[in-house]
Structure 1
Amino acid sequence: MITPQGGPESHREEHPAGEVVGLPAQGEWLLAEAGAAGSGWASQTVVEVPGLLVTLVALKEGRGRAEHRTPGAATLLCLTGRVVLSTVDRSWTLEPRELMALPGERHRLTAEADALALLTVRLD
């Protein structure tokens, strides 16, 4: 569980339907985790209900997620910082409060500044 101060009790917290999730404290804690991780990124599922997964992603400047594919239709919302989503042919820069539907192809995510993003995936 995430404590009210944003610290971890475990790495996975369940948020049932109807529960409000406070992202600022979780985001601060997750950015600290990303800074401590060798990869420079960390993520935590904040909502999981049938057919839908919402994950908070923290990335340190200049670091990111290696090329991967999302397991279903997905959107990415940049909450803070700046991220670049890239495929083989294109790239998109997302600033705070910008949202995009992710391409179905393999992609990578890199932070141009320390960033928090919210990934929402429809699970088919």
Structure 2
Amino acid sequence: MDPFNVRTQAAELLETARDSTAGRAAYMPVGGPGTEMTQTIIALVGGFQLDEHENPGEATVLVLSGEVELGSGDSAWLGSEGDLLDVPDARHHLLAKSDATVLLTSVKRRSGLTA
């Protein structure tokens, strides 16, 4: 894989998100269907969010710019540029407190594995 500039892509995605009625844009430079690990750059306009959803595996959110709130149940964690948030193994949402970009890294659970 050729080198890929995450900051440049994140800035471009934020411009796309600002033009979108959904207030968000995303690009997956690593992984895809049939892979266990994916990395996705997500841009969110302030006030927009990724609605509550399940966590299909282990995941982290690295805040590239702006400020976000990762929430699950009655708990919430704030993250700003450079912060790494561990995504809970539960339903959760991601709210942009300001225009923000994040790098989501996730690894799908393998079915049928036991400890």
- Give the match for residue 79 of structure 1: 64
Q: Does 1:36 pair with 2:36?
A: no
Question: Structure 2 stretches of 5 or more lacking a match?
Answer: 110-115
Match of 1:47 among 5, 26, 30: 30
1:97 and 2:71 matched:
no
Contact 2:7 2:64 in 1 (8 A): no
Structure 1: distance between partners of 2:28 and 2:55: 14
- Asked if structure 1 preserves the Cα contact closer than 8 Å seen for 2:63 and 2:84, the reply is yes
Letter in 1 for 2:4: V
Q: Higher RCO, 1 or 2 (CA under 8 Å, sep at least 6)?
A: 2
Percent sequence identity is 33
Tell me, yes or no, if structure 1 residue 67 matches structure 2 residue 46. Answer: no
CA RMSD in angstroms, aligned pairs only: 1.4
Please give the TM-score of this superposition, normalised by the length of structure 1: 0.80
Alignment pair present for 1:27 and 2:17: no
Is 1:112 aligned with 2:97?
yes
- Normalising by structure 2, report the TM-score: 0.86
